[in-house]
Amino acid sequence: SQQGEEDPQALSIQEGENATMNCSYKTSINNLQWYRQNSGRGLVHLILIRSNEREKHSGRLRVTLDTSKKSSSLLITASRAADTASYFCATDDTGGFKTIFGAGTRLFVKA
Amino acid sequence: DAGVIQSPRHEVTEMGQEVTLRCKPISGHNSLFWYRQTMMRGLELLIYFNNNVPIDDSGMPEDRFSAKMPNASFSTLKIQPSEPRDSAVYFCASTHQGQFSEQFFGPGTRLTVL
């Protein structure tokens, strides 16, 4: 069963705009990760945020985590056409071995 | 590092045939995961290994699916007999336990069962 659920399912924006994707989960987590998948490729890890962290940055990416609401958001600033991809959130089970992926948000950035 | 290596990249077979997918994890990683991705069901975890031992195979859909990891550098996922509904992209991923499970994915094997 899926732990993380992304919202929206699909997002279309103009190049230069910001893109925000949200993820909600059901049970306590050790950490939450965001991955990107370009069409026809494997997933690529973007950023990991631990349960005791509230915000993390990596280049144009900003991730927030609200454990009280069991939700996370991924913000991509100044989007580029190359950011067009599917974005997945993933959470670990309490053992830390198993990562459960959500259904993903499909982002399309128009040039 | 070459990253996670999967073979073949594409496989087309007929219903009833045996299919074997292969994966070489990143050297030094001690956890390995097999996933299946389809449009309808998204990304599903089939099985994962830790130190070559299967930890959780609850995602394996049926007895037709089996996975092995004979050593730290090689794993196989076998489907016997294959069915059209097995058509999907199968990903292998590896990680180093203790590093909060950042996973490195292979390029995937696109399986088509006719």
Closest to A98 (Cβ–Cβ): which among B42, B45, B106? Answer: B45
**Structure confidence at residue A7 as a pLDDT band (50, 70, 90):** confident
- Strand B19-24 and strand B5-7: the pairing is antiparallel
User: Scanning every residue of chain B, which has its alpha carbon at the shortest distance from the alpha carbon of A89?
Assistant: B43
Q: Is the pLDDT of residue B99 over 60?
A: no
Closest to A103 (Cβ–Cβ): which among B35, B42, B50? Answer: B42
Q: Is the pLDDT of residue A81 over 70?
A: yes
Mean pLDDT (whole number) for B30-36: 93
Mean pLDDT (whole number) for B83-99: 88
Name the DSSP letter for residue B85. G
Mean pLDDT (whole number) for B9-29: 97
- Round the average pLDDT of chain B to a whole number and report it: 92
Q: When comparing pLDDT for B55 and A18, which is higher?
A: A18
| Cis peptide leading into residue B107 (ω within 30°) | no
Q: Which pLDDT score is estimated for A1?
A: 42
Listed in sequence order, the residues at least 6 apart from B29 whose beta carbon sits closer than 8 Å to its beta carbon are B94, B95, B96, B104
pLDDT in tens, A28-47: 888 899 999 999 899 999 99
Q: What DSSP assignment string belongs to A7-53? A: E-SEEEEETTS-EEEEEE-SS--SEEEEEEE-TTS-EEEEEEEETT-
d(CA A110, CA A81): 6
Using only C-alpha atoms, chain A has a radius of gyration, in whole angstroms, of 13
d(CA B11, CA A68): 45
The Cα of A37 is separated from the nearest Cα of chain B by a number of Å equal to 10
